[in-house]
Chains A and B, each alone.
Chain A
Amino acid sequence: MLKPSRFFTVSTLLASTLALGMNAAAARDLTVVSWGGNYQDAQRKIYFEPFSKVLGKPVLDESWDGGIGVITAKVKAGSPNWDVVQVESEELALGCADGLYEKIDWAKLGGKDLYLPAAVDDCGVGQIVWTTGLSYDADKLKTAPTSWADFWDTKKFPGKRGFRRGPKYALEFALMADGVKPAEVYDVLGTPEGVDRAFKKLDELKPNIVWWESGAQPLQLLSSGDVVMTTAYNGRITGINKTEGKNFKVVWPGSIYAVDSWVVLKDAENKDAAMDFIAFTSKAENQVKLPEYIAYGLPNKEAAAAVPAELKKDLPTSAENLEQAIPLDVDFWVDNAEALTQRFNAWLAQ
């Protein structure tokens, strides 16, 4: 039998361990989570470090690979260990509906009018506008592809194509290749016939597709010549052109852009500091520095206007790039991601 004294020791030990854990939690500094890589390096330089000076305390930063499940798990576990997280638009919509985020105090940010409408949400503040589009190595392809129809045309452009594995973007691009106008893509995709049509179009290209998973892969595929064209994220393309002297091009017509936003996790410890941090990163004079590092569009209108012209041409938000691009339909994917992924996996397995 445990003697009372020993029992007491054990419980003291347990209690002190718990207390220690809580102390550690209490001491946690503002924790910001973003996408890692070059982008987070840039963010560290222009946001995290300067804000840490303003705050007078360290700002911790971590990176993640996305997924609403990660956020759900953290919030449901109670007292999440992250405060501010950069999320994609679906994660924003899903998490906001599920009550996983704190509501944004837009007054702190100078009012909603300062920002692009797509960047304004009850639960999140848009930070970047980025594009997924057709890209190719202009040094290798003599004639430049100009549309998704060209992407599908394996006679004119023999060789493999890179595609991000998953139904998102693949179905939209397939419909555009099949002649659907960019503006009507989601109307068509919203019907069962439209989905069938998209998969049928994908069937045509299936033997020539190399599927990629992480954002660095399409660049590698283009560089090695494993594919002649690929879907890719515009920021990565501009980045590799700058760092490795490549001549990769993005075809803007038919590209799909989306907004990534900051959110504050529900009941996050450093909620107030988190809001201040978001306000800091949303200020025009801070945000305008980003395109020097990475070619993402800026949601703060004043900042967007102040970007130098030679950088602007690579941004998804520049007028001519936006002209024939469409925004990602978040509602469509929030509703259909699961069912279409299941179907996509089945299609892939056939």
Chain B
Amino acid sequence: MSIACGKRLAAFGLVAPLLLFLVLFFVWPLVTMMSNAVSDPGAGRALPQTAAALSNWDRSSPPTPEMQAALVDDLRTTQDDQLIGDLTRQLNSARSGFRTLMAKTVRTVREEQGAVDLVQVDQRWEDVSFWQAIAAATASPYTDRNLLAAIDMARSPTGEITALPASASANLAILQRTFVIAAGTTLACILIGFPYAMVAASVTGWKRQVMLAAVLLPLWTSLLVRTAAWFILLQDNGLINRLLQTLGLIDAPLALLFNRTGVIIAMTHVLLPFMVLPIFSVLIAIPTNLLPAAASLGAHPLRAFWRVLLPLSLRGVVSGSLLVFMAAIGYYITPALIGGPTDQMISSVIAFYATGTANWGMAGALGIVLLVATIALYVVYDRLSASGTERA
């Protein structure tokens, strides 16, 4: 072995832990999530004979005795309850009712010997839609059902992709709302965070320490506690409304809870550090004599801010905005507790599928949609900012 090759190997050995870490904690979960979203692994393994029997079924005529016999056989031979569980979850997601149907059928089939008339066990086995779901699930180990459902679409029994009515599924609306709330939070963070960072960067000593500590403080308590605190503050007879009323600024309490205003207030508070810190770090790196220089050259303080300080701190604003936006997209506890019915974000839907029904395929599909939308936004932003820099 040559020395160069040995050196390269040694170098690889040094970065290997990092690589391993990246793969283990970044690539692997992502790949798992994606593959969960598009694969139907249970059906093929649990129902091999049924799959064969259904492969030449026209998917509309009534179920034949052969199909029934194959299913009974499969359910008898497959003893792995967790595999049956995966299958059932997947089928129930496509057609509600499989849960109880399968539980009943599996129990009966295992108790009895010989041929079983499934329709006798449960009338639902007459219904072709249940067989269609099995046929679709066993046809291929891959499926686009979750991805389509994540964007409010489904395949009809004959295989065409159709949009679901707005009354049936609202994932896209919720996704759009997620981006709107995240954008609103980001904007609010800029409006508060920028002046705050400016003041923090302009003072020195203990004042700066106090200001930075104040903005970091929220990070030291749990998200739930902070959200609960906002819940109390924002109530109709909460501190904020009472204060405004005492000051005579408003007559009736402002509606701050269970609406978007409240959500954005609370989320802004929680995410503010992610805006203030990058802007602050950029600001303190800007030479202190630029603003006096601008003033000496005849710039009114506002114009000096606009032409000098703002362009120079834009880098911090942009990285802060990305941080806040990305973090905001994933929120759901705050909107759940403080928001109204139309403020729920996509993460709560993902959480429902992930923990509520263990439908990781759907959770993964929604995750992919969110990821793709975010990447698309980032690309757009990147293009815009790139062309912006060229012009400047």
Task: Using CB atoms and an 8 Å cutoff, list the residues of chain A in contact with chain B.
Answer: 1-2, 65-73, 75-76, 93-94, 97-100, 165, 206, 209-211, 213-214, 217, 220, 224-226, 331, 334-343, 345-350
Contact = CB atoms under 8 A, between A and B. Distances in A.
Contacts of B84: 97-99
Given A97-B103, A99-B81, 17 more contacts: A69-B357, A72-B358, A97-B84, A100-B85, A165-B344, A211-B341, A224-B237, A225-B236, A226-B236, A335-B98, A335-B99, A340-B96, A341-B352, A343-B167, A346-B169, A349-B173, A349-B342
Contact of B337 (A68, A100, A213): A213
A348 B357 CA distance: 20
Contact of B231 (A98, A220, A335, A343): A220
A88 B106 CA distance: 23
B140 interface: no
Where chain A touches its partner, the secondary structure class is: helix
Contacts of A224: 235-238
11 contacts: A1-B1, A68-B358, A97-B88, A98-B85, A209-B341, A213-B336, A339-B96, A345-B174, A346-B167, A348-B170, A348-B341
Contacts of B358: 67-69, 71-73, 94
B51 interface: no
B166 A350 contact: yes
A99 B80 contact: yes
A345 B100 contact: no
Interface string B324-342: 0000000000001100111
A2 B16 CA distance: 12
Nearest to A331: B100
A196 B133 CA distance: 24
B359 A338 contact: yes
B96 A335 contact: yes
Interface stretch (B5-13, B209-217, B289-297, B373-381): B5-13
B277 interface: no
A338 B92 contact: yes
Interface string B75-117: 0000011101110110011001111111100100000000000
Interface size class of B (residues with CB under 8 A): 35 or more
B236 A345 contact: no
A77 to B, nearest CB: 12
Nearest to A73: B358
A349 B88 contact: no
A98 B106 CA distance: 11
Contacts of A211: 258, 340-341
Residue of A69, A336, A347, A350 with highest tally of chain B CB at under 10 A? A69
B355 A335 contact: no
Interface string B157-178: 0000000001111110110010
A335 B342 CA distance: 26
Interface string B348-385: 01001111111110110000000000000000000000
A289 B170 CA distance: 47
B182 interface: no
A334 B100 contact: yes
Contact of A335 (B6, B92, B106, B354): B92
A69 B355 contact: yes
Nearest to A345: B170
Nearest to A209: B341
Contacts of B349: 345
A98 B88 contact: yes
A100 B82 contact: yes
B257 interface: yes
B348 to A, nearest CB: 9
Contacts of A99: 80-82, 84-85
Residue of A1, A94, A99, A342 with highest tally of chain B CB at under 10 A? A342
A225 B355 contact: no
Residue of B85, B106, B171, B235 with highest tally of chain A CB at under 10 A? B85
Contacts of B92: 335, 338
B13 A67 contact: no
Residue of B97, B149, B169, B357 with highest tally of chain A CB at under 10 A? B357
Residue of B167, B349, B363 with highest tally of chain A CB at under 10 A? B167
Contacts of A337: 356-357
6 shortest A-B CB distances, which residue pairs?
A99-B81, A98-B85, A67-B355, A346-B170, A349-B170, A69-B355
Contacts of B85: 97-100
Contacts of B88: 97-98
B174 A98 contact: no
Nearest to A75: B82
Nearest to A2: B13
A338 B82 CA distance: 19
A230 B166 CA distance: 28
Contact of A338 (B81, B93, B337): B93
Nearest to B359: A338
B352 to A, nearest CB: 6
A226 B6 CA distance: 72
Interface string B268-304: 0000000000000000000000000000000000000
Given A1-B6, A225-B236, A349-B173, A165 B82 contact: no
A75 B82 CA distance: 10
Nearest to A99: B81
Interface string B177-208: 10000000000000000000000000000000
B16 to A, nearest CB: 10
A179 B359 CA distance: 35
Residue of B88, B170, B237, B257 with highest tally of chain A CB at under 10 A? B170
Contacts of A349: 166, 170, 173-174, 177, 341-342, 344
A76 B85 CA distance: 12
A206 B10 CA distance: 66
Contacts of A100: 82, 85
